[in-house]
Each structure stands twice: as structure tokens, then as C-alpha cells.
Structure 1
């Protein structure tokens, strides 16, 4: 049957505009993937397990929910824990996911790293605000990661003095008094020899300003000399013990086993990345 002239012209136009066929021409546009803020979920993974209640970490709920749903779909997390709260159950589930990827040790510490978080989100979400500790590098006679070294250098710049370390990172079993906090990345002890009490406080304050949970430690608190203990917030190589210290810092505590009141200088708590955005 011969088509009316107007219909024939319309059909020809469609074929010219879409050589692959009308079905392709009518296909719906691809919906953009939601985003997961890595900074927010890593922060929540440090704080939420230390909370006495189920208060959510501000700004993290939407991203944590996406991570938890992905873990639940892999049968690593019970659906009842998909609640936007990155508590111990979610940390354990994420560690199991990291292990399923072949990671072990610090690579399976339950803190979302760039590789594991990106793989978890494949086809589900995009990762933004990526954190990378960087390779291990020397800091005097000790070892830290590049992110921690940059933080120490910036604190030194603010203080107009070079900070010397008594202990570095990645030091498993190196100091039994440290209770495992130095076993991973992001944690250092700063030498305070010759410093006055005021100077010790100013150093701890500068370290806090650039993104460390930092405290002046004294011999009455444990079997150690005077020093400043500092743990880099959101370093994804943190040992579990250091993760707990940082969570306690956000909750106004002293980072010691007694979980006493924070005795350090009061400054707005920021991560290194947050500091870089506002300095």
C-alpha cells in the first residue's frame, strides 16, 4: 500500500535522524549515578562505633546508606543495619568486603579505602571527595605516609618550628605502651624536649588545626615520657585502636583507655582536607 505523502516524509526523516532505528531514537537518557562522599563515610566509620547512642554523623547519612545497601545486597550486612549509621556492624561488614577483594591487614581495617569503595559502587554510585594516604615515606628516622607528612609540615609552618618525632607510623608491636595505635598509618608521637608547658599546648593546637586528634601526654597518664600523641583524622590506613581514638576525640574525650574528658586545646575539629578548603 502506498503511504500518504506526509507520512512517507516523516518516516524518511526518522530514518535519517536515527540510522540505528526508531527504538534507539526513543531510548530514555541514562540516569546519573548517585554519589558517595568518601570523606563523610570514613569520618562516620571512626565516630559512630564509639557513640553511646545511634546519633548519625552530620552530613554522612545519604552516603552511608548507599554503602550499606551495597553491602546488604552482597549479603554482608543484615538489612536492619541499613540505617545511615556506620557502626560496628557496618565496619565489620566492610572489612569482610575488603577481604573478599583479597585485602588483608590494614587493607581490611573496615575503613572504606579508595579502591574498595570504588569497586563496591561499580554501577551503583560514584565516589567523590576521595582520600589517599599516599605511599610510605621517611620522616626523620621514622616512617609515615605522604598525607601525614604534609600535615606535619603544615603544622610546623604554622608554628615556625620543625617538629621532631619520637615515634612514627606502621610500627606494629614497636611500643607496647601505645596499645596498637601506631600499628597503622596516620599516627605519630612528637618530641617535646625543651618545650615549656605553653609551647607544648601551642604545638598540640597547631596539630589539631591541620587535622590531627592530638593530646599532650605526661608520665602520670601512663608508662611514657612527656610527648604529644597525634592521630590523623580520616587516614584510611589507621589501625582499629587509632580509629577509636579519633572517634573519642570527636566525642570530647581524651583518647585514653579511661575515655576521660578531652584535656587538649579547643579548636574546631577538621580533617586535613577540610583544613585545606578553609585555610
Structure 2
């Protein structure tokens, strides 16, 4: 005798979850996943590497992104390799422009919306995050993620930072080489701090997810200050992205590409820092 699922339900019989799940749920479950955090890290780090090494933990996700870009004709098959290098950055920027983005929103650094659109029917996202809304702190523009990071560093160091330059400030300071044009970038006063507190400040900023350095007048035409860039801020300017990559490579983020002279700490994103608490 044939018994329908409706009949079984009416009789109170146990029906396997597999039989009841909507067909769309199976389709979503069958899709591979892309780790957004890992892709963002690779997109900042890989372009500045001297070789085509794949960022640890990012390869499978980056290959899925590159495969989707290849499907759109934006990148050659030879670059579908898990290395988010300059060709992949350029291809992703073209995808962002096709979506109607421009400026810092089309820098080649993947954001939640563009990644979701790219993965439609091909992959789903994990470890998704956002930099939040734009706000101000001490009169300077920042986003809520950067502000939360700054406050976390203040708590760790016991130092209240004085901001000298914020984010989203194109053209505000020509000596900054565009690093403050987008989100995630801050300059903090260091002249009022002792040498020990300067080290403590840079250490704390790095521990919560900033690429941070003490900048001295001997390095450029600027006063003594701390320059900090929020790693994996999806609004980073192109020059700020390169500074993050330089930080991962053990460099100072300046044009001379000298060795990093800052405190040695484990390099983490803000999200990695939060998971460590």
C-alpha cells in the first residue's frame, strides 16, 4: 500500500528530516563555502609577496573566488591558483565596477555584498563581517569597526589615544600617500607619550588587529606619530592595502620598504583577536 507523506504526518508517524527539507535547502547545503576573512587576508598580503605563495588557510576559498571570476571572463584560467595576486585584484575590481561600484568600493578588495553576488549559485560565505557605519571620533571620521579596535587597544595599553588624522579623508594630508583616503587608517599623537608608552601603544594596536608603526621625523616630512591601519577593513584604500601586506611581510609600510622596526607580536585581524579572548 502506498502512503503519502501527508498521511504519515496525519498519523503522527516519524518522517525523516531529509524527506521534509525544502529542495532549496539542499542546493545551498551542497555549495562549497568561502571564508571571507581568509580571502580578505590573502587579498592584502598576496599582492606584495615576492613569490606566488598561497596564504595559509586561504587557498581553497581564493580558488573558488577566482573560479567564479574566470566564469565571468575576468581572469585567465592560469591565475585560478589560490594566490590572490595583482591579476586577481584587478579582476575583482572589474567585477565590483560591473556591479556599479567606484572609488574605494572598487579597489579589488572583496566586500560582503560583492562576494555574495559573485558566489550566487556557486558558493556561500562563512566568517562574514562588516566594518559598520561611518561615525566620528574626536572630530575625525572613522567606521565603527576601527573605533572598536581603537578602544580595545586603549584598554590593553591603559593609554587614551589622541587622534591626529582619521579615515575617509582624501587629500587631507599629501604626506600620507593616500592611506587615509578610505577606511581603517588612523594617525595618533606620540609626542605626548614617553618612549615606553609609545612602544606599549604600538604593541596594543598590533595585538588587536592593526598594522601599526611609530613614525619619526627622520623617516619623512611629519611629526612624531603612530600610524595604524586596521587589517582587513573592507574600505581600505589601495595604498593602505599595500601597507597591510608590507606588515605581514615584516616591512615598515614606507616607500623604502625597510624592515619592520616595531614590537614583535603575533599578526592578527580584529576578528581573530576577538576569538582569542
- Residue 161 of structure 1 and its aligned partner are, at CA, apart by 2.5
Whether contact under 8 Å (2:159, 2:201) holds in the other structure is no
Aligned counterparts of 1:161 and 1:217: Cα–Cα separation in 2 = 18
User: Could you say which residue in structure 1 is the equivalent of 2:10?
Assistant: none
User: Could you say which residue in structure 2 is the equivalent of 1:141?
Assistant: 139
Aligned counterparts of 2:100 and 2:242: Cα–Cα separation in 1 = 25
Aligned counterparts of 1:17 and 1:260: Cα–Cα separation in 2 = 69
Whether contact under 8 Å (2:92, 2:108) holds in the other structure is yes
User: Which of 43, 46, 58 is equivalent to 2:44?
Assistant: 46
User: Could you say which residue in structure 2 is the equivalent of 1:246?
Assistant: 244
SS at match of 1:58: coil
Q: Which runs of 4+ in 1 moved over 4 A?
A: 28-31
- Residue 185 of structure 1 and its aligned partner are, at CA, apart by 0.3
User: Could you say which residue in structure 2 is the equivalent of 1:213?
Assistant: 211
User: Which of 208, 220, 223 is equivalent to 1:222?
Assistant: 220
Aligned counterparts of 2:122 and 2:61: Cα–Cα separation in 1 = 12
Equivalent positions of 1:169-248 (< 5 A) are 169-248=167-246
SS at match of 1:183: coil
SS at match of 2:226: strand
State how many pairs are aligned.
261
Q: Is 1:98 aligned with 2:96?
A: yes
User: Which of 28, 52, 69 is equivalent to 1:71?
Assistant: 69
- Residue 247 of structure 1 and its aligned partner are, at CA, apart by 0.2
Q: Is 1:129 aligned with 2:127?
A: yes
- Residue 75 of structure 1 and its aligned partner are, at CA, apart by 0.3
Q: Which whole-Å deviations, capped at 9, do the CAs of 1:170-207 have from their partners, x for residues lacking one?
A: 01011000000001000000111321111111100000
SS at match of 2:61: helix
Q: Is 1:263 aligned with 2:261?
A: yes
- In structure 1, stretches of 5+ residues that fail to align are 1-8, 20-24
User: Which of 85, 89, 98 is equivalent to 2:87?
Assistant: 89
SS at match of 2:211: strand
TM-score where L is the length of structure 1: 0.91
Aligned counterparts of 1:239 and 1:134: Cα–Cα separation in 2 = 16
Structural RMSD (CA): 1.6
- In structure 2, stretches of 5+ residues that fail to align are 8-18
Name the larger-Rg structure. Answer: 1
Aligned counterparts of 1:126 and 1:113: Cα–Cα separation in 2 = 14
Aligned counterparts of 1:47 and 1:194: Cα–Cα separation in 2 = 33
Aligned counterparts of 2:45 and 2:191: Cα–Cα separation in 1 = 32
TM-score where L is the length of structure 2: 0.91
User: Could you say which residue in structure 1 is the equivalent of 2:12?
Assistant: none
User: Which of 166, 172, 178 is equivalent to 2:164?
Assistant: 166
- Residue 160 of structure 1 and its aligned partner are, at CA, apart by 1.8
- Residue 73 of structure 1 and its aligned partner are, at CA, apart by 0.2
- Residue 17 of structure 1 and its aligned partner are, at CA, apart by 4.2
- Residue 18 of structure 1 and its aligned partner are, at CA, apart by 8.1
